[in-house]
Amino acid sequence: MRPVTPKTSDVPRGTSIEYAVRAAHYGGVDLSERQKEQLTDYSEWLLDEAIPAGGLGPREGERIWQRHIGDSLTFAAGWPEAPAEILDVGTGVGLPGIPLAIAFPDTIVTLLDRGGRRIRLLHRAVRMLNLGNVVIAQGDALSVADEWAGLVFRASIPPPEAVGLANRLLEPGSVGVLGLSTREDEPERARDLVSLATALGLDAEVRQVPTEVLDGTSWLLIMRS
């Protein structure tokens, strides 16, 4: 028998903010009540608009907080202090950029994506959340010419390509964070990516997010120019 995909209306709501709290704390951010409210509103938007529009798979509603919002907030661990700006390459429906924009309210976060439909969705989300520190841009990462103080990549482009982009786009002294895996074991390609980054002149490390943060392991590649 084919498994039944739950409707987004059947997913329990507002019950997993603790994932966001723990993930943000891991990244060095203690969420205010206002930030928790914004993240909750974003979770509702993902369920009500992003999933029905195809921005996330229909099964992702059951793990919005753990797999998507919480995972996005762990990217904050790349910076000891909030950066002036972050470019989210291939943001999709705002992951990890929107959670990071909420966690870093003084950071200008640019959400970059090629898809016109996703761009329209993002405009709706940013208006709904009243995020004044978010810029939405439609385009391809390969066409970006400016240097940035921060970069994030979350399953948007092949990892070796992300490392190459980080080398090209990071300004001196800045940080890029690449999401690698949510599996228990270290990704097989992780050490090759560190070697590639080192060969390009970046300082790179593979970081394991502790299992107690998201009730499961995840892996990040942190690159410093």
Residue with the larger pLDDT of the pair 8 and 122: 122
Q: What 8-state DSSP symbol labels residue 140?
A: -
Q: What 8-state DSSP symbol labels residue 3?
A: P
The strand pairing partners of 219, in sequence order, are 181, 208
Q: What was the pLDDT predicted at 3?
A: 42
Spell out the alpha helix ranges (H) of 113-189. Answer: 116-129, 159-169
Q: What was the pLDDT predicted at 142?
A: 84
Instruction: Tell me: pLDDT of 19 over 70.
Output: yes
Average pLDDT, the chain: 92
The strand pairing partners of 220, in sequence order, are 179, 207
Residue 34: band (very low, low, confident or very high) from pLDDT cuts 50, 70, 90? very high
Query: What's the CA gap between 97 and 167, in Å, rounded?
Result: 20
Instruction: Tell me: pLDDT of 94 over 50.
Output: yes
pLDDT in tens, 182-211: 888 888 889 999 999 999 999 999 999 999
Mean pLDDT of 32-44: 98
Residue with the larger pLDDT of the pair 31 and 9: 31
Instruction: Tell me: pLDDT of 76 over 80.
Output: yes
pLDDT in tens, 109-165: 999 999 889 999 999 999 999 999 999 999 998 888 889 999 999 988 999 999 999
Mention every residue, 6+ apart, whose C-beta is less than 8 A from residue 110.
85, 86, 87, 88, 97, 134, 135, 136, 137
Mean pLDDT of 54-78: 95
Q: What was the pLDDT predicted at 15?
A: 57
Instruction: Tell me: pLDDT of 2 over 60.
Output: no
Nearest Cα to 49, choosing from 122, 113, 102?
122
**Domain ranges for the chain:** 8-224
**Orientation angle between helical segments 159-169 and 190-199, nearest 10 degrees:** 30
Q: What was the pLDDT predicted at 68?
A: 96
Mean pLDDT of 64-88: 97
Q: How far apart are the first and last CA of the chain?
A: 52
Q: Which CATH architecture has domain 8-224?
A: 3-Layer(aba) Sandwich (3.40)
Residue 222: band (very low, low, confident or very high) from pLDDT cuts 50, 70, 90? very high
